[in-house]
Amino acid sequence: MNAAKRNWSVGIIIAGLAVALAGCSQDWSSVCQKQDSTVLLAYTPARSLSENEKRTASRYGDRDMALSAGDTVVWYGSTDTDWEVVTNWSPQEIPINQVHVVVSASAVNSMLLNLDRQGDTAGAGLDLRTFHIEGGCTVDVGASGAPLKCTVHNTLKEPSIEHHGDGTFHYSAETGTSSPADLTDFILVNSPNMDIAFQLTGDVAVAGLVAISGRTVVGSAYTGVMAYLFVRHGRYGAVEPVVSVEAHASARIAYVFARAGVIDIAREVTAIALNGGVYTQEAEYIYQAEVYGGVFNFNSTTTMDVLRMMGGVCDTTGNALPKTIAQSFIAPEATLVRSPRLTIGTEWDIFGDNVD
C-alpha cells in the first residue's frame, strides 16, 4: 500500500473511533423548559487524575488545577463525608469556581464536613455554576446548623440548584455579601427533604418541602427580592409541597404561583395567583391576590389593595385582628368568609358592577 492510501486509511479509522467514543461518553445533560424555551446544557467532565497523580496527591484539599470553568465534579463519597477529601470526588479534585457539582445517585456517604466554602476565594466565596442531586440519591448534603454554604449562580436559564433525591439537603447562600448578583437565583426542588436558609433573589420552583428564612444581617442597600415562587406537585405524587417563608424586615417576594401544597408566608408579597392548595399570608403586606381555587387565608393586619376571586375560598377569620381590603371582585363561584373586623372599601362583582 502506498503512503497516500495508508494515510487515507488511518484517517478513516481515527474518525470512526472518534465518533464511537463520542457516542459512549458520559452525558450530564440537563434540559429545562422556562419561558417557552428549551435550553440544553451539556456538562463537560473534567479529566481524571493519572494513577501517579493519585498516589502523590495530598488526601486533603489538593488542587492541581486540572479543573476548568464548565467542568463537572461528581460526589460519590467513596472515602468518607468530608468535602476536602479528594477521593470522595470524580475526578479527584476539590470543586473550584464555575464548575458543575453533581451528587451521584450511587453516592455511598453523605456530604457533611467542611461545607462552609465562604473562604474559598477572597470576598464572596465559592461560586458554583450548578449543584445537582440526582434522582434516586439517598445521601444527605449538609445538616441542620451546618449547611453547604456557597454561591450557586448561572446565566444559563437553568436551575442553579436541582434536588431530585430522597436525602435531606441543607443549603445556605450566605456568602458574606449583600449583592444580589452573588446569590442563587433559580432552584428546582423535586424532593420532600430540602431546607433553604438564605435570601432568594430569583426563581424557586417547589415540589417538595422547603423552609426559606432571611439572614439576620442584611446590607442596607440590599432589596432582597425573590422574583417568583412556584409551588406545584412534582414527579413524586405522594409528596405534598410545603413551603414556609419566615418574616424578614427588608426582603420580599414579587410573585407567588401556587397550584398545590401548603404555603405559609410571613414576608411582604406583591401578588399571588392561587389555583389550589392552602396559602396563608401571616404577616406583612400582600398587595394583590387572585384566587381561582384552593384556600387563601388572609391573616395579615395590613391593607390589601385588590382581591379578585374567580373561585376558591378567601378566609379572613384566622385571627381576631382587624383587616382591610381596598377593593374586592368576587364571582358567584367564589366564597369570601368575612371576619367581623374585616373592612372592604369598595365591593364589585366580577363584571365590575358595584354591589354596595
User: Where does a domain end: 103, 137, 159?
Assistant: 159
* Confidence grade of residue 1 (pLDDT, cut at 50, 70, 90): low
Residues 155 and 203 grouped into a single domain: no
Residues 207 and 151 grouped into a single domain: no
What pLDDT does 180 receive? 42
Residues 356 and 228 grouped into a single domain: yes
pTM: 0.66
Residues 121 and 211 grouped into a single domain: no
User: Where does a domain end: 111, 142, 159?
Assistant: 159
Q: Which three cell numbers stand for residue 356?
A: 354596595
Question: 24 Cβ partners below 8 Å, 6+ apart?
Answer: none
Indicate the average pLDDT of the chain: 75
Residues 155 and 265 grouped into a single domain: no
Report if residue 10 sits inside a domain: no
Is the model more confident about 284 or about 8? 284
Is the model more confident about 317 or about 242? 317
Residues 155 and 214 grouped into a single domain: no
Report if residue 67 sits inside a domain: yes
**By mean pLDDT, which of 37-41, 117-121, 138-142, 262-266 is the weakest?**
37-41
Indicate the number of domains in the chain: 2
Residues 139 and 220 grouped into a single domain: no
Question: 270 Cβ partners below 8 Å, 6+ apart?
Answer: 252, 253, 254, 255, 287, 288
Q: Are 266 and 282 in contact (CB under 8 A)?
A: yes
Helix boundaries (H) for the chain: 3-24, 51-56
Does position 33 have pLDDT exceeding 50, yes or no?
Answer: no
Report if residue 322 sits inside a domain: yes
Report if residue 291 sits inside a domain: yes
Reported as a single tens digit per residue, the pLDDT across 182-239 is 456 677 888 878 877 655 566 777 777 777 665 333 333 345 677 788 888 765 445 6
Q: What is the CA radius of gyration of the chain?
A: 25
* Residue where the block lists cell 387572585: 290
Does position 340 have pLDDT exceeding 90, yes or no?
Answer: yes
What pLDDT does 114 receive? 94
Coil, strand or helix: which one is 273? strand
Is the model more confident about 146 or about 234? 146
**By mean pLDDT, which of 70-74, 86-90, 219-223, 226-230 is the weakest?**
219-223
Residues 154 and 254 grouped into a single domain: no
Report if residue 80 sits inside a domain: yes
Report if residue 264 sits inside a domain: yes
Does position 85 have pLDDT exceeding 80, yes or no?
Answer: yes
Residues 112 and 231 grouped into a single domain: no
Does position 108 have pLDDT exceeding 90, yes or no?
Answer: yes
* Confidence grade of residue 26 (pLDDT, cut at 50, 70, 90): very low
Host domain of residue 98: 27-159
Residues 214 and 349 grouped into a single domain: yes
Residues 142 and 257 grouped into a single domain: no
With CA atoms as reference, report the closest residue to 286 among 258, 311, 312: 258
What pLDDT does 228 receive? 81
Reported as a single tens digit per residue, the pLDDT across 284-335 is 899 999 999 999 999 999 999 999 999 999 999 999 999 999 999 999 999 9
Q: Which three cell numbers stand for residue 217?
A: 444581617
Residues 153 and 220 grouped into a single domain: no
Report if residue 192 sits inside a domain: no
Question: 178 Cβ partners below 8 Å, 6+ apart?
Answer: 218, 219, 221, 222
User: Where does a domain end: 104, 134, 159?
Assistant: 159
Q: Are 46 and 64 in contact (CB under 8 A)?
A: no
Report if residue 173 sits inside a domain: no
